[in-house]
Amino acid sequence: MADSDEREVKFISLMLSRAVSGMNAEVCDQCGKCSSACPVSKEIEGFNPRQMIGKVALGKNEELLKGEAIWTCTTCLKCRERCQEEISPYDVILILRNLAYRAGYNYPSGYDDFVKGVKETGFISAPQSVRGRDGGRVTRSDLGLPEVLGPTDMELFRGIVDGIVKAGKRN
């Protein structure tokens, strides 16, 4: 087990470092097509995919990893769709997030909740009872829906997920 962990740690490390350099940020003309399509750029002044790619191109990744901006992308993919140099700020941001998590920088706590949910139930959360429009509570079985069965061997599954996430945390 320890060996495969090490292999995984190295794999993730290499994958992430290659990923950013493979994304052509240096080719960016700074034209602004990505930022003008971005719904978040419209609203938040600190978020601008064009500037982010500009920083990556100049090797200023560390600045981005420490900041809040990379966590504010809404994954709409318009930047990737529109960029005429085939650069994807969305993909760059995703890798930067992984790198920031790895480096131990701040990130929204909601992601911890997601991981916890998946480890405990196999999903982000277990089925709940939901309040209808009339105020009454409704469950899956109230609507005649089948029970949700997650991974058959939850302990095994939990261990695997835990292992992968932890491997991504180590340097």
> Which residues from 132-161 bind another protein, rule CB under 8 A?
132-134, 138, 140, 143-146, 148-153, 156-157, 160-161
- Interactions with another protein, residue window 19-38 (CB under 8 A): 27, 29-38
Q: How far is the CB of 66 from another protein (least distance, A)?
A: 15
- Interactions with another protein, residue window 49-88 (CB under 8 A): 50-51, 68, 71-78, 80-86, 88
Question: Which of 4, 17, 21, 106 touches another protein by CB under 8 A?
Answer: 4
When computed from its CA atoms, the radius of gyration of the chain, rounded to whole angstroms, is 20
Residue number with CB closer to another protein (146 or 171)? 146
Q: How far is the CB of 25 from another protein (least distance, A)?
A: 14
Asked if 150 and 121 count as a contact pair (C-beta separation under 8 A), the reply is: yes
Closest CA to 13 of 90, 108, 111, 95: 95
Q: How far is the CB of 106 from another protein (least distance, A)?
A: 11
Q: How far is the CB of 67 from another protein (least distance, A)?
A: 12
Query: What span, in angstroms and rounded, lies between the C-alpha atoms of 57 and 47?
Result: 17
Express the helix, strand and coil content of the chain in percent, nearest 5 each. 60, 0, 40
First to last CA, the chain: 18
Question: Does 105 sit near another protein (CB under 8 A)?
Answer: no
Question: Which of 59, 111, 120, 170 touches another protein by CB under 8 A?
Answer: 111
Query: What span, in angstroms and rounded, lies between the C-alpha atoms of 104 and 146?
Result: 41
